[in-house]
Amino acid sequence: MENIITLAIETSCDETSIGVLKNGREILSNRISSQIELHKKFGGVVPEVASRKHIETIDYILDDALKEANISLNDIDNIAVTYGPGLVGALLVGLSYGKALAYALDKPLVGVNHIEGHINANFIEHPELEPPFVCLIVSGGHSHLVYIKDYGEYEILGRTRDDAAGEAFDKIARAMNLGYPGGPIIDELSKEGNKDAVNFPRVYLEEDSFDFSFSGLKSAVLNYLNNQKQKDLDIVVEDVAASFQQAVIEVLVNKTLRAANLKNSNIITIAGGVAANEGLRKLMEEKAKGLGIDVKYPSKILCTDNAAMIGCAGYYDYIKGRISDLDLNAVPNLKLGDK
Ligand code: KG4
Ligand code: ZN
């Protein structure tokens, strides 16, 4: 079989990324230009600033990605691009760019759902991995518990009812003036702290629910911080970080294990930016081991936003004949499973 070369583009939030994949799972290049430094001083992503930076950067990223992959535009078989969910202005930069390339090169365009991209990062990391399996997707914008029936076929078991897991990390870090993005900072601090120092609530919702809710936990942490301040008591940042993180990951792990049990799945994958969390990875592995369940997650660089994961999802759509029209629009609130 001839090799299929996919050019992938991702600009849904604050990373401008372009990559080249061979046969969907082999990375030839995966260039990522992060805007974190730019947004840090605002304590979060400023949409207008993000869009402008994508426009400034995208040409250079394409050049780098092609050079590193050692290919020219003529070698490309298809173009995969994120069209949602995300910030509309940011999405439109990558999508317009992808559409222009597809038109000029006369190559098929494949619009990719960003959340689907996160799931697919696991296929790149683990060449032998095949559906079905249970996947916990936890990022800055999304928290989902999904049964992956086949490539591109999803049964959604649960989702967040309020804040996404990563959003909770970012908000708590902000409340403690720790910097942005909060996830990696809290993850590091947790290693130095006592996870049992403060007993924050574990929110499981209804007994059989696979949904998540993090806003109650967020309020509990904010209340604790305010109380300590009012009473002029010490706040041990490491202990608060570790106790908060433990409250998040215990719920994530327990619900994921219950989903694996329901689906009779002996594989659990984790995806999205929060899949980089070392506490989450460790606890999931510890608890799954005794149950004979294998836990897989991408390397950290493939957990957070990158084009390669989009290329992998786009590849499986392409080989199934799912091609997009050139009038494809950005869909900021695109749901998993929507095409
Ligand atoms: O997947 P991602 O890059 O973007 C979205 O699609 O949202 O995820 C970014 C999120 C941020 O909220 C960030 O704080 C979180 O992932 N994150 C982490 C870690 N690394 C990144 N959260 C917890 N622990 C980490 N090590
Ligand atoms: Zn993402």
| pLDDT tens column, 76-111 | 999 999 999 999 999 999 999 999 999 999 999 999
Rounded Cα distance, 20 and 51, in Å: 22
Mean pLDDT of the chain, nearest integer = 97
Rounded Cα distance, 142 and 111, in Å: 19
Which ligand 1 atom is the nearest neighbour of the CA of 86? 6
- As a whole-number percent, the residues of the chain with pLDDT over 70 amount to 99
Task: Render pLDDT for 292-339 as a digit per residue (tens, 0 to 9).
Answer: 999 999 999 999 999 999 999 999 999 999 999 999 999 999 999 876
The SS3 of residue 324 is strand
Is 114 among the annotated ligand-binding positions?
Answer: yes
pLDDT value at residue 44: 87
305 lines ligand 1 (CB under 6 A): yes
pLDDT value at residue 174: 95
Rounded Cα distance, 39 and 45, in Å: 5
Please report which confidence band the pLDDT of residue 41 belongs to, taking 50, 70 and 90 as the band edges.
Answer: confident
307 lines ligand 1 (CB under 6 A): no
Closest Cα to residue 214, out of 175, 254, 161, 149? 161
Ligand 1 centroid to Cα of residue 102, in Å, is: 31
Is 235 among the annotated ligand-binding positions?
Answer: no
Rounded Cα distance, 275 and 270, in Å: 6
Pairing between strand 109-113 and 78-84?
Answer: parallel
Q: Any residues with CB less than 8 A from the CB of 52 and at least 6 apart, and which?
A: none
Task: Render pLDDT for 173-221 as a digit per residue (tens, 0 to 9).
Answer: 999 999 989 999 999 999 999 999 999 999 999 989 999 999 999 999 9
pTM of the complete model: 0.96
213 lines ligand 1 (CB under 6 A): no
For ligand 1, atom 8, which residue shows the shortest CA distance? Answer: 273
Rounded Cα distance, 150 and 293, in Å: 19
Which ligand 1 atom is the nearest neighbour of the CA of 276? 26
Pairing between strand 5-10 and 15-22?
Answer: antiparallel
pLDDT value at residue 94: 98
pLDDT value at residue 1: 67
Closest Cα to residue 278, out of 286, 268, 288? 286
CB 154 within 8 A of CB 26: no
Rounded Cα distance, 164 and 170, in Å: 10
Is 117 among the annotated ligand-binding positions?
Answer: no
Rounded Cα distance, 254 and 204, in Å: 9
Identify which ligand lies nearest to the alpha carbon of 140. Answer: 1
- As a whole-number percent, the residues of the chain with pLDDT over 90 amount to 96
Is pLDDT above 90 for 2?
A: no
Rounded Cα distance, 125 and 256, in Å: 20
Is pLDDT above 80 for 240?
A: yes
Average pLDDT in the 218-232 region? 97
139 lines ligand 1 (CB under 6 A): yes
111 lines ligand 1 (CB under 6 A): no
Ligand 2 centroid to Cα of residue 138, in Å, is: 9
Q: Give me the sheet containing 153-159, strands edge to edge.
A: 153-159, 143-150, 133-138, 267-271, 294-296
CB 303 within 8 A of CB 272: yes
166 lines ligand 1 (CB under 6 A): yes
Number of H helices, E strands in the chain: 11, 10
Rounded Cα distance, 213 and 201, in Å: 11
140 lines ligand 1 (CB under 6 A): yes
The SS3 of residue 29 is strand
Ligand 2 centroid to Cα of residue 305, in Å, is: 5
Strands (E), the chain: 5-10, 15-22, 26-34, 78-84, 109-113, 133-138, 143-150, 153-159, 267-271, 294-296
Q: What is the 8-class DSSP label of residue 294?
A: E
Ligand 2 centroid to Cα of residue 271, in Å, is: 9
Report angle CA 118, 111, 15 to the nearest 5 degrees: 50
24 lines ligand 1 (CB under 6 A): no
Neighbours of 42 (CB within 10 A): 10
CB 245 within 8 A of CB 279: yes
Is pLDDT above 70 for 250?
A: yes
pLDDT value at residue 339: 66
Mutating to test ligand 1, I would choose from 39, 120, 169 the residue with most ligand atoms within 8 A of its C-beta, which is 169
Rounded Cα distance, 189 and 182, in Å: 11
Please report which confidence band the pLDDT of residue 43 belongs to, taking 50, 70 and 90 as the band edges.
Answer: confident
Identify which ligand lies nearest to the alpha carbon of 10. Answer: 2
Is 144 among the annotated ligand-binding positions?
Answer: no
pLDDT value at residue 29: 98
CB 30 within 8 A of CB 125: no
